[in-house]
Amino acid sequence: MLLADEPTTALDVTVQAALLDLLRHLQREREMAMIFVTHDLAVAARIAERVVVMNQGQAVETGPTSQLLTAPNHPYTRGLVACRPPLTHRPARLPVVADFLQETPPPPPPEISDEEAAQRLARLTAQAPLLELENVYAQYRRRSPMALRGVNLAIHPGETLGLVGESGCGKTTLLKAILGLVPLAGGTLRWDGAAISKLDRRQRQGFRREVQVIFQDPFGSLDPRLTVGETLAEPLIVHGMARPQRGERIRYLLQRVGLEPEAARRFPHEFSGGQRQRIGIARALTLQPRLVLADEPVSALDVSVQAQVLNLLKELQAEFGLTLLFVSHDLAVVQFMSDRVAVMHEGALVEVAPAPQIYRHPQHPYTQTLLAAVL
């Protein structure tokens, strides 16, 4: 018997598919039983003959995979199935498990039509770009292969641009290049029309204030020696906010991401993964940024918490007028979040288009391969 505990978490779809195929092959070859633990229902559908659904230490439903995932009986199972972002359509909001545990579950959320999505995108792209990348090249060491190869991209105020591609294709490197953490080997980055390399010290400080990051690991990105309040206060101190205003800002941010004010006195290890990611989101919003770089912000979360965090990000985007560059290997999540999608392969962008076009009429063979791995 093989016990496989979340072996595909945080893998891109093509690597994930290859690993699942390998496990199935080994299972047949060795006549091996397998218990496969996962929070990804799509993975369970591909690998398992039977599924056991657990909640708070109890098995609440067991059955054949096809039956359980298409016609679940228990309210908790129905919630898990419903809160997974769909690929066939785009809801305005994701259901959450708590909706299904009530006596009268709410009706399904309204869907965003292709026409509505196109109208929204047209309004956004009519504005001048907030961030532009023009023929950007980057490498980590001299004589090493280029990590970014001639990237051209424009991100407009208020939009969410999804960035997808296999592990190692350059997605995180692109974010690092925007932040100045990887030197450019060529090309230009422009912020509000001005070349970032030509900003003076005061302007560069303003740029750093207006561009913030949500990291993939909600635990590793928080200093374990600082309380949540101290973590949120750090950037406010750096940028000169007075103590009374700092306290008020911290209380507001914690409340806005769904945490109690007393959370400010606690340390990161005292919170769940979903709560830590909410703290990471609050940290990114402390300085009221214009652009948030979200690097795989929900890949480590189970499907029920993931739905809550994705809904929260959409709400905060509308409230704060945020622009999002949303990096993920999960194509269903990217479709739910994005106005446009950029597909990266070996350091270059091979396709950039409105989200409905990418998912229904992909043009590049690599995009077609990515989608085929999850359909």
How confident is the model over 316-367, as pLDDT tens digits? 999 999 999 999 988 999 999 999 999 999 999 999 999 999 999 999 999 9
For position 336, what pLDDT does the model report? 96
For position 330, what pLDDT does the model report? 87
CB atoms within 10 A of CB 85: 21
In whole numbers, what is the pLDDT of the chain averaged over residues? 93
* Tokens matching residue 235: 């950037």
Residue 160's SS3 state is: strand
* Total number of residues shown for the chain: 375
Cα distance between residue 119 and residue 103, in whole Å: 37
Query: DSSP assignment of 11-28, as one string?
Result: --HHHHHHHHHHHHHHHH
How confident is the model over 184-215, as pLDDT tens digits? 999 999 999 999 989 888 888 889 999 999 99
Quote the longest CA-to-CA distance of the chain: 66
User: Of 40, 72, 100, at which residue does a domain stop?
Assistant: 100
Quick one: 86 and 152 in the same domain? no
Quick one: 192 and 161 in the same domain? yes
Q: pLDDT > 70: what percent of the chain?
A: 100
Q: Would you place residue 308 in the very low, low, confident or very high pLDDT band (cuts 50, 70, 90)? A: very high
Q: Would you place residue 287 in the very low, low, confident or very high pLDDT band (cuts 50, 70, 90)? A: very high
Higher confidence at residue 6 or residue 160?
A: 160
The overall pTM is greater than 0.95 = no
* In contact, 121 and 340? CB cutoff 8 Å: yes
For position 307, what pLDDT does the model report? 93
For position 8, what pLDDT does the model report? 87
Quick one: 172 and 308 in the same domain? yes
- Per the structure, the count of domains in the chain is 2
* In contact, 52 and 40? CB cutoff 8 Å: no
Cα distance between residue 266 and residue 275, in whole Å: 12
Domain with 13 in it: what CATH number?
A: 3.40.50.300
* In contact, 292 and 213? CB cutoff 8 Å: yes
In this predicted structure, the answer to whether residue 234 has a pLDDT above a threshold of 90 is yes
Could you tell me the residue range of the domain that residue 322 belongs to?
Answer: 114-372
Quick one: 63 and 170 in the same domain? no
Of 147-161, 198-212, 256-270, 311-325, minimum mean pLDDT range: 198-212
* Tokens matching residue 158: 């208020």
Is residue 346 a part of any domain in this protein? yes
Q: Would you place residue 265 in the very low, low, confident or very high pLDDT band (cuts 50, 70, 90)? A: very high
User: Of 58, 74, 100, at which residue does a domain stop?
Assistant: 100
* Tokens matching residue 215: 């990291």
**Alpha helix (H) residue ranges in the chain:** 13-30, 41-47, 65-70, 75-82, 97-100, 114-125, 171-179, 201-210, 228-238, 243-256, 273-285, 303-320, 331-337, 355-360, 365-372
